[in-house]
Amino acid sequence: MKILTKKHSLIASLLLSLALLSGCATVHGEADPEDPLESFNRAMYSFNDTLDQAILKPVAQGYNAVLPDPVNKGVSNFFSNLEDIVVVFNDLLQFKFEQALTDTARVFFNTTIGVFGLIDVASGMDMPKHNEDFGQTLGYWGVDTGPYIVWPFLGPSNVRDTVGFIGDAYVNPLYDIEPEGTQNALLVVNVIDTRAGLLSASKILKEAALDPYLFVRDAYLQRRQNLVYDGNPPKPKFDE
């Protein structure tokens, strides 16, 4: 019941935030049709960046400095293996049955031979990792992205991917681990491990982007479209 309560609280919080956005987010001048909530989003981006620079980035740098590379890789593999269960679920919803079989085998071999996913033996067995989530599944079924949104703590998203995040939380075994203290500790480690893997990318962002907010927004939107269409997005239509 505690797990269900936590998930329902997550849903309620995100849906309430979605309902309030239209009333609290305004943009001076003509709004970008892809980013009508730009004022709100820039404020959230600034909040997240400040939090990242003050806490998360230093912790991630220390994490990389303290953990030996094999241990660091093992932690990443462990969380990746849990994510593969979500991938299988979305494979099936997108009728990618052959890929679902491969990804199921990937989870099986990495969980058993790979010691609960700490070692990625499946990739060496010609079972590459795929990227599928419920946001992509909704896109596969024709659901529009909705406005671009930057959530506090969670970062860039859109309405479709926000709903997708909630859906994936229901099938991700990370949210079903008990006791709750262990689950929370693993969630924190997952966040730190993910941020540690992005240290090089964040350095490039700071050095290359004149407007980091626009850079992140455009990169996110393009990447998500590319994932939904499996690397073959439709060509943009230009007004004649």
Nearest Cα residue to 202 out of 35, 48, 71, 42: 48
| 4 pLDDT more than 50 | no
Task: Supply the pLDDT for residue 205.
Answer: 80
Query: Phi-psi category of 179—alpha, beta or left, where left has phi over 0 and alpha has psi -120 to 50?
Result: beta
- Of the candidate ranges 32-36, 61-65, 71-75, 100-104, the one whose mean pLDDT is the lowest: 32-36
pLDDT digits (tens, 9 = 90+) for 193-227: 999 999 888 778 877 778 999 999 999 999 999 99
Give the model's confidence band at 29: pLDDT under 50 very low, under 70 low, under 90 confident, else very high.
low
| 81 pLDDT more than 60 | yes
Q: How far apart are CA 124 and CA 109, in angstroms?
A: 11
Mean pLDDT value of segment 5-26: 54
| 71 pLDDT more than 50 | yes
Mean pLDDT value of segment 73-100: 98
| 100 pLDDT more than 90 | yes
Q: How far apart are CA 56 and CA 192, in angstroms?
A: 7
Name the H helices within the chain: 2-24, 38-51, 57-66, 69-93, 97-112, 134-140, 159-171, 180-196, 199-208, 212-228
Q: How far apart are CA 119 and CA 124, in angstroms?
A: 11
Q: How far apart are CA 157 and CA 221, in angstroms?
A: 9
pLDDT digits (tens, 9 = 90+) for 129-147: 999 999 999 999 999 999 9
CB atoms within 10 A of CB 93: 17
Mean pLDDT value of segment 124-133: 97
| 83 pLDDT more than 70 | yes
Q: How far apart are CA 230 and CA 90, in angstroms?
A: 13
> CA dihedral in degrees (85, 136, 23, 216; nearest 10)?
100
Task: Supply the pLDDT for residue 62.
Answer: 97
3-state SS class at 125: helix
* Burial state string for 180-196 with b = 16 or more CB within 10 A and e = fewer than 16: eeebeebeeebebbebb
Q: For the chain, report the end-to-end CA distance as a whole number of angstroms.
A: 57
